[in-house]
């Protein structure tokens, strides 16, 4: 916001901590950053609940939307209109809103009487008919559209006919993490003197962690001090539908590959301060994700911003961020390629 702006009340709409998901973390961090940068403005949150009992939200969450209840979206719009909110900052991901293709959010937007800035966390290259309809109306109802990758800007114009003047590219934010010697943090996790590979985030099968586990045997054969830390709770949606099946499959694979001394699973959702310590301890960060169409990754941005060596599959955000040798890209689902690149980097470092 410009100095002297008349924006006095800003509402952030999406998920919010302590709900465990990437959008909740992003929304909470964005609200806190805007509030700190513009103390003259009042910031509040409208959070979407995916469970009946909701969550123990902080006071900044002033209204709660029930994901599948269309009427609660309309009540939320009424609340913001009555509260004289000057601008709404919407976090959009198809999966967090109710209705066909998350269409309930459109009813909310139609009722608002203030500008809407929409941050798009997913932009589909090949949308189904309902997804295309929802996205095109979302584009029409938004005053500004924020993307976190240049590819997103192109796709909005080419696939959804968004006016180029409505789109802003803002790179994914990162926490304030200094460039530190990993040895300063390794003793906290019992890995002092070892080479640490790290993957963090909510676990689900599209993360591709099994390919790192299959890459490790040749790595540890040459560098037995390597340890791979897998940090994160199972994604709540995955947990509801399949329980801990994916995590258990990873633990079984690690045992099958005789990696008991080289893999550590931390089954928990970590707060930012603790996450910074894990990032600080890492020598290499790996995102072996399997979905090429992932256009934003907070974990990638965090570790890249912390100056870590990043090895990643070429999903859209990674392909853009790690271009021009800013990181190492490996093919999707290719354990030998991961092993080859890690071994090459470790040899160069010896």
Last residue of a domain, one of 169, 193, 223: 169
Expressed in percent and rounded to 5, the helix, strand and coil fractions of the chain are 45, 20, 40
What pLDDT, on a 0 to 100 scale, did the predictor assign at position 5? 56
Which of these three, 169, 192, 223, is where a domain ends? 169
Decide if 81 is inside a domain.
Answer: yes
In a domain, 21, yes or no: yes
- CA 29/CA 27 separation, integer angstroms: 6
The answer to whether position 17 is within a domain reads yes
Residue where a domain stops, chosen among 121, 140, 169: 169
State the residue range of the domain holding 275: 183-349
Give the model confidence (pLDDT) of 232-263 as tens digits. Answer: 999 988 998 999 999 999 999 999 999 999 99
Q: What is the DSSP-derived secondary structure letter of residue 171?
A: P
Q: Give mean pLDDT, residues 196-203.
A: 95
Check residue 107 and give its pLDDT.
98
pLDDT at residue 350, as a whole number: 63
Indicate whether 133 and 205 sit together in one domain.
no
Strand partners, 311: 286, 328
* Residues in CB range of 171: below 8 A, 6 or more apart: 148, 301
Residues 188 and 333 in one domain: yes
Say yes or no: 141 and 286 in one domain.
Answer: no
pLDDT of residue 342: 98
Is the model's pLDDT at 335 over the cut of 50?
Answer: yes
Provide the pLDDT for residue 178. Answer: 67
Strand 116-120 with 195-200, pairing: unpaired
pLDDT at 213: 98
- Is residue 29 included in any domain, yes or no? yes
| Residues 257-316 pLDDT 10s | 999 999 999 999 888 888 889 999 999 999 999 999 888 998 999 999 989 999 999 999
62, 163: one domain:
yes
pTM above 0.85, yes or no: yes
Euclidean distance between CA atoms 316 and 172, whole angstroms: 13
| Res 231 pLDDT > 70 | yes
- Tell me how far apart the alpha carbons of residues 253 and 319 are, in angstroms, rounded to a whole number: 28
3-state secondary structure of 17: coil
What's the pLDDT band for 2 if we cut at 50, 70, 90? Answer: very low
pLDDT tier at 3 (50, 70, 90 boundaries)? very low
Q: Measure the CA–CA gap between 59 and 56, rounded to whole angstroms.
A: 9
Asked if residue 333 and residue 242 are part of one domain, the reply reads: yes
Give how many domains the chain has, as a whole number: 2
In a domain, 100, yes or no: yes
Asked whether residue 89 falls in the same domain as residue 238, the answer is no
133, 211: one domain: no
Residues 142 and 194 in one domain: no
- The answer to the question of residue 1 being in a domain is no
Reported as a single tens digit per residue, the pLDDT across 87-124 is 999 999 999 999 999 999 999 999 999 999 999 999 99
Same domain, 94 and 240: no
Helix intervals (H) in the chain: 22-37, 70-82, 104-111, 129-141, 150-160, 183-186, 209-222, 236-242, 245-256, 272-281, 298-305, 316-321, 335-349
**Same structural domain, 138 and 188:** no
Query: In the numeric block, which tokens belong to residue 127?
Result: 């949308």
CATH code of the domain containing 93: 3.40.50.2000
Q: 149 and 33: one domain? A: yes
How many CB atoms neighbour CB 161 within 10 A?
10
> Is position 22 within any domain?
yes
Q: What is the pLDDT of residue 349?
A: 77
| Omega before residue 18 within 30° of 0, cis | yes
Position 314 scores a pLDDT of: 96
Tell me: do 36 and 73 sit in the same domain.
Answer: yes
For residue 68 the two structure tokens come to 């599948």
Write the pLDDT tens digit of every residue in 64-80: 999 999 999 999 999 99
């Amino acid at each position: 916001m410009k100095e002297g702006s008349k924006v006095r009340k800003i509402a952030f709409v999406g998920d919010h901590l302590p709900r465990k998901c990437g959008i909740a973390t992003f929304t909470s961090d964005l609200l806190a950053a805007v509030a700190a940068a513009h103390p003259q403005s009042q910031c509040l949150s409208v959070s979407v609940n995916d469970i009946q009992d909701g969550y123990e939200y902080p006071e900044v969450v002033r209204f709660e939307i029930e994901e599948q209840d269309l009427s609660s979206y309309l009540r939320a719009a009424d609340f913001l209109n009555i509260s004289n909110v000057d601008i709404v900052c919407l976090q959009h991901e198809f999966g967090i809103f109710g209705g066909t293709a998350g269409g309930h959010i459109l009813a909310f937007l139609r009722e608002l009487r203030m500008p809407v800035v929409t941050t798009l966390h997913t932009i589909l290259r090949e949308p189904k008919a309902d997804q295309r309809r929802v996205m095109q109306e979302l584009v029409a109802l938004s005053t500004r559209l924020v993307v976190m990758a240049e590819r997103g800007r192109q796709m909005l114009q080419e696939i959804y006919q968004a006016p180029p003047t409505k789109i802003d590219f803002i790179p994914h934010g990162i926490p304030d993490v200094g460039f530190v010697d990993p040895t300063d943090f390794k003793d906290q996790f019992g890995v002092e003197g070892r080479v640490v590979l790290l993957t963090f985030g909510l676990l689900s099968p599209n993360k591709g962690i099994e390919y790192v586990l299959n890459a490790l045997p040749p790595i540890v054969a040459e560098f037995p001090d390597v340890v791979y830390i897998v940090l994160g709770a199972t994604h709540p949606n995955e947990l509801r539908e399949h329980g801990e099946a994916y995590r258990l499959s990873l633990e079984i694979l690690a045992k099958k590959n005789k990696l008991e001394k080289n893999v550590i699973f931390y089954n928990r959702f970590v707060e930012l301060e603790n996450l910074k310590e894990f990032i600080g301890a890492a020598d290499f960060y790996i995102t072996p994700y399997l979905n090429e169409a992932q256009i934003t990754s907070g974990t990638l941005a965090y570790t890249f911003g912390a100056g870590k060596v990043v090895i990643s599959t070429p999903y859209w955000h990674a392909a853009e961020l790690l271009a021009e040798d800013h990181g190492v890209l490996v093919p999707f689902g290719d354990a030998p390629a991961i092993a080859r690149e890690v071994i090459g980097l470790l040899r160069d470092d010896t």
